[in-house]
Amino acid sequence: MKIRIGIGLGPWPFKEKRPEVFLDFIDYCESLDIDSLWLSDRIVSPTLTLEPVTFMAYMASRMRNMKFGTSALVLPTRNPVILAKQLATLDFLSRGRLLLVVGLGSDESQDFEATGIRKKERGKRTDEAIVLMRKLWTEESVTFEGKFYSVRDLTILPRPYQKAGPPIWVGGRSQAAQRRAGHLSDGWLVSSATPHEVGKGIEAIRRHAAEVGRKVPEDHYGVLIPFFFAKSPEEALDIAKGSIRFRPGISPAEYSALGAPEQVRRKLQEYVKMGASKFVMRPCGPGEFWYQQVEILAREVIKYLQTPFSKEERLERAGLEQQEGEAG
C-alpha cells in the first residue's frame, strides 16, 4: 500500500495578494518530494479563495513533478457536462496528473443560493453527476435520463489521459458520504476526522460497496490533516488555532498533526493503522510560516513515511517517460 503525502492550500494564506507570492510557494513545493497539491472550493467566501478548476489549469502548465487535485470540488454547484469537458481537457493536457475529490459542500455555504441550487437536492444531484461524468469520459455516444441532468447522443473529446477518466473520490464525514463512497466512488477523502473515525468510516464504506457488488481499492482512503510544527502540541495549537476548524466537544489535537516532527509522524501512523494511505497536509498558522512548515514536513515526515517513488514514477513526474522509450 503506497503512502503518498500532498499539500492542501485552502484560502489565500499570504498578506500580499499578488499572484507571484502564491506561485513562488507552489514552485517551492515542487522542489521537494511532495506528491501533490490540493485546492479547496468555495464560490462565495469572505476570504480570497481561488476557483480550483481555473487554478489547476494554470498549475498544469507550470508544474512538472506534482499531481494536483480538489479537496473537495462542490459537485452539485457545477454543470456536469461542462465540468466533464473541463476536467477531461485538463487531464489530457497534464498527461493524467489530475486527482478529483468531490463533495456536497458545507451546510452554511452560500454557494447553493448563488448558483440556483436547492440545498436539499445536492445529494441526488451529486449522485447523478458522478454517473454522467464517468459515462462522458468512457463512452462514444452518451444518452442519460436523470431527474436533474439529461443528455442524448452526446460525445465529448478529448478523452481524459487516464484510461477510465480521473478516479472520482468522495469527501465527507457523514454516513451519507460514506454510503456514496461505497456505492459510487473510487475512494474517500475525509477531513477533521480522528483516526478512530477514519477506521470506522473505512469499515462502513467497504460494507456499502459490498452491498452493490463493488470494492473500493485498499489504497484509496485518505485524510486531510491540518498540521503545524512547534516544540509542543500546545504551542502549535496556540499559533495555528485561527486556521483550524473546530468541532464541538472534541479537541483539534485529535484530528490535527501538531508539535514536534516525531509527534506529527506518530499521528499519521495512527491513521495508517486504521487503513488510510493518502494524506493531504494543510499548513496552518499565518502564511509567513508556510515555507518553514512545508520544508520541515518534507525533511522530517515525508522522507520517513512516504513510499519512495519508483524509477518509472520519477520519470513520469519529470515528464521523461517518452524520451526514455525513444532512447531505448
CATH number at residue 120: 3.20.20.30
- Give 313's pLDDT tier (boundaries 50, 70, 90): confident
Q: What is the pLDDT of residues 269-299, one digit of tens each?
A: 999 999 999 999 999 999 999 999 999 999 9
Position 321 scores a pLDDT of 55
225 pairs with which residues across the strands?
281
**Residue closest to 125 by CA, chosen among 78, 159, 170:** 78
Burial class of residue 76 in the structure, from the number of CB atoms within 10 Å of its CB (0-12 exposed, 13-18 middle, 19+ buried): buried
Residue 313: CB atoms within 10 Å = 14
- Give 326's pLDDT tier (boundaries 50, 70, 90): very low
Position 320 scores a pLDDT of 59
Largest CA distance in the chain: 61
Position 3 scores a pLDDT of 98
Q: What is the pLDDT of residues 91-119, one digit of tens each?
A: 999 999 999 999 999 988 999 999 999 99
- Give 8's pLDDT tier (boundaries 50, 70, 90): very high
Residue 23: CB atoms within 10 Å = 13
Angle at 91 between CA 301 and CA 218, to 5 degrees: 50
Distance between CA 124 and CA 304 in Å, rounded? 42
Return all residues near 258 (Cβ < 8 A) that are at least 6 apart: 227, 228, 230, 233, 236, 237, 240, 252, 264, 267
Residue labelled with grid coordinates 459542500 = 105
Angle at 122 between CA 186 and CA 218, to 5 degrees: 15
Total domain count, the chain: 1
Distance between CA 185 and CA 179 in Å, rounded? 9
Please check the confidence at residue 327 and state whether its pLDDT lies above 60.
no
**pTM for the model:** 0.95
Distance between CA 215 and CA 221 in Å, rounded? 12
- Mean pLDDT value across residues 33-43: 95
Please check the confidence at residue 324 and state whether its pLDDT lies above 50.
no
Strands 150-154 and 142-145: antiparallel
Please check the confidence at residue 145 and state whether its pLDDT lies above 50.
yes
- Domain assignment of residue 112, given as a range: 4-327
Position 322 scores a pLDDT of 47
